Amino acid sequence: MEHRREALYEKGPVRPAHPAEKKVKPMPPPLKDVVIVGAGFAGLSAAKELAAAPVTVTIIDRQNHHLFQPLLYQVATAALTPAEIAMPIRHILQRQRNAEVLMDRVVGVDTKAQSVTTESGRAVPYDALVLATGARHSYFGKDQWAQHAPGLKTLSDAFGLREKILMAFENAEMVVEDDPEAAGRFQTFVVVGGGPTGVEMAGAIAELAHSVMRDFRRIDEARNRIILLEGGPRVLPAFTEDLSARARRDLGDLGVEVRTDTMVTDIAAGRVTTDQGEIAAETIVWAAGVQASPAGEWLGIPATNNGHVEVDATLRPAGFENIYVIGDTALHRTGGSALPGTAPVAKQMGTYVGRRLSKLARGEAPPHEFRYSDAGALATIGRNRAVADIFGLKVKGFAGWLLWGAAHIYFLIGFRNRLFVMLHWMWLYLTWQRGVRLIMHRDTEDEDKAP
């Protein structure tokens, strides 16, 4: 792809400089082509902010949709459908005339030639590059655990986990009379990691396990076990101690066994080994860590152990004038501590970079350094149970649950998604019925035998 680069600055008549004249700082090069890698919260916010800028915006993502990850666990636990938390990127940006979308995977960045290399062989030129590539699961050097303890980052992850959870009940129903011990393993669910994702997942599995019991005839609800493992002294460590304690109590009311100060030492088929002993379980969910994208490798600069790239006050890595790293990939320190990898942080970073590039494209002074406005944090434990710390105001229980729901509906993209999620939640609240308890996978041998 080639773009004609036209100067944005009119040049006046050239005249010799007087020795007494002060040297004028050279004008920055023209900014015409902006490439954004990743269409998550950060990348999409940056693209939208550039809607009126005199630039061409190219968004590259390996998926064709933007995913609202905070509600992905509800797809995995049969509460929502994928279409309610995802939307095609092209549809989101259909009215933005200066934006074009490429569904491709980035494999490298040539900083000298100022181009992005993709898996399909494209070399996409840029005047400014925004890396908003997000994060993936981190197993802390034990990548072999992934096949037994899947994480939750994509719709494919959610589909796979939903089928694994639902099949666990089906398998328990089939073997409970002949092999009660095996049925116990199928009715045991282990969630590793006591952050917001782990807490919300454990609570959702507990509610799903309760709601499906009326449809089975042989298995006993009393044998369901949901175990949440956390290596630190408390769940939700980013929250205040009283909110953390409330979350733990709410999890206990749902029947979740919370084990803190418990380190996982090994994960294999059908078991989790910890420093406190072994747990037999067929369903294990990983929610303990993330690994940033290989942006540091692409740029040839050092990154942290988790792949994060440290950025300055303008969200640029050291040594790069026209490259920005934002979202989960960025390590930005403020007040001595790093900003968390959350949706609000990513959205604000994207908005800042988009605004900065828009002003630079017009030849205007860019905004001052990035400042994050922290509105607080929320986490839901289950039905009528949530904790929130909003602008210093602590909210728990039913009020916190309503606040959590309102915040998530507000941040969803598209009126249709907001409406459908709200209606789905109302139906689930009134009936306890999860309408997407569908197992889609069938073995090839079974397909061949099907009439």
Spatial contact of 287 and 193, defined as CB atoms under 8 Å apart: yes
Q: How far is CA 23 from CA 17, 18, 20, 26, 35, in A?
A: 9, 10, 9, 9, 33
pLDDT at 240: 92
Predicted pLDDT of residue 435: 64
- In the chain, CATH 3.50.50.60 covers 33-62+104-137+290-361
> What tokens were used for 255?
């029947």
> Do 189 and 371 contact (CB within 8 A), yes or no?
no
Residue 8 backbone phi and psi in degrees, to 5: -95, -5
207 annotated active-site? no
* Helices 415-431 and 397-411: angle between axes, nearest 10 degrees: 150
Which regions of 119-236 does DSSP assign to beta strands (E)?
123-125, 128-131, 135-137, 188-192, 225-229
- Asked if 36 contacts 353 with a C-beta cutoff of 8 angstroms, the reply is no
Q: Which fold has domain 33-62+104-137+290-361?
A: FAD/NAD(P)-binding domain (3.50.50)
Looking at residue 215, its pLDDT comes to: 87
Q: What is the pLDDT of residue 6?
A: 39
Neighbouring residues of 20: CB distance < 8 A, sequence distance ≥ 6: none
The one-letter amino acid code at 405 reads: G
The residues of the chain scoring below 50 in pLDDT are: 1-27, 442, 444-451
Q: What is the pLDDT of residue 24?
A: 44
Report pLDDT digits (tens) over 52-63: 999 999 999 999
What local confidence, expressed as pLDDT, does residue 433 receive?
A: 73
**Which pair of structure tokens corresponds to residue 217?**
């005839």
CATH for 143-288+376-438 is 3.50.50.100
Quickly list H helices, 341-436. Answer: 343-361, 397-411, 415-431
From the candidates 49, 84, 200, 282, which is the catalytic residue?
A: 200
Q: What is the DSSP string of 131-180?
A: E---EEE--TT-GGGGGTS---SSHHHHHHHHHHHHHHHHHHHHHTTT-H
| Cβ–Cβ < 8 Å for 38, 327 | yes
Cβ 65 vs Cβ 85: under 8 Å? no
